[in-house]
Amino acid sequence: MTAGEKPLDGQVALVTGASRGIGRAIAARLGRMGARVALCSRNAQGLEAAATALRREGIEIFAQAADVTRAADVDALVRGVRAALGEIDILVNNAGIGIFGPAHELSEQDWDRILDTNLKGVFLVSRAVAPEMIRRRTGHIINISSLAGKNAFAGGGIYCASKWGLLGLTGCMAEDLRGYGIRVSAVCPGTVETDFSPHAGKDSKKMLQPDDVAHAVAMLVTQAPQSFISEVHLRPTQKP
């Protein structure tokens, strides 16, 4: 993309978990590409700070606090986006949490929190957005997964389960929706330098940055119309 180019001009993007980190970087990238961007997060204060910063860049922003694990919140969010910005062309399901430790030492509440946010949330938001995409026969749904959805590691039991499940959901959604011109893709980053989870003993200078994930999303939403990339694996050039 050259300076001044706006390949997403006129399009509307909804990014969940957009108050910080990867979500905020994705929202900024899509906005700079010309999209009108809707932000959501459970953190109302952080959400407003992100919205204010992006508006200063000249990006048209709609922000609404929402808990993606609650169907009523999701439905209200999608109605709000449509009323403020128009129909949703791009959905980035980024909201996620991580709780780490041996699965046998974690609680039922830990299980519910992780699976509800990382998996149920994607289901609820996609379900709310997909019917209008189907009617219009166009759209992108991009789910931010993780290489933890491909690789097991000690202490990652519940988190990995959520991300493996997300990849299964993404693949099936892609098959369900591709006939309507809707492309469903997953981005699977390795370790990203955010405050999402502890990175004890790792060199932050060698980690992926939120903008690296945003770059992958930008690539997905500017593909040629006759094809789609179903899954992106994103790794740092050097192991942290």
Range of the domain at 79: 12-234
Q: Does residue 2 form part of some domain? A: no
- Three-class secondary structure of residue 169 per DSSP: helix
6 in any annotated domain:
no
Nearest to 29 by CA among 211, 154, 182: 211
Residue 221: per-residue pLDDT: 98
Task: Report helix, strand or coil for 223.
Answer: coil
In a domain, 5, yes or no: no
Structural domain includes residue 165: yes
180 is catalytic: no
- Which domain CATH number covers 41? 3.40.50.720
* Structure confidence by residue, pLDDT tens digits, 209-237: 999 999 999 999 999 989 999 999 999 98
Domain membership flag for residue 3: no
Does residue 1 fall inside a structural domain? no
- With a cut of 80, say whether residue 207 has pLDDT above it: yes
The pTM (predicted TM-score) of the whole model is: 0.95
Residue 193, pLDDT score? 82
Task: Measure Cα distances from 225 to 53, 87, 181, 182, 222 in Å.
Answer: 33, 20, 9, 10, 9
109 in a domain, yes or no? yes
Question: How many structural domains does the chain have?
Answer: 1
Options 148, 159, 170, 188, the catalytic residue: 159
The 10s digit of each residue's pLDDT in 151-197 is 999 999 999 999 999 999 999 999 999 999 999 999 999 999 876 65
Please give, one letter per residue, the 3-state secondary structure of 98-148.
CCCCCHHHCCHHHHHHHHHHHHHHHHHHHHHHHHHHHHHCCEEEEEECCHH
Mean pLDDT calculated for residue range 108-121:
98
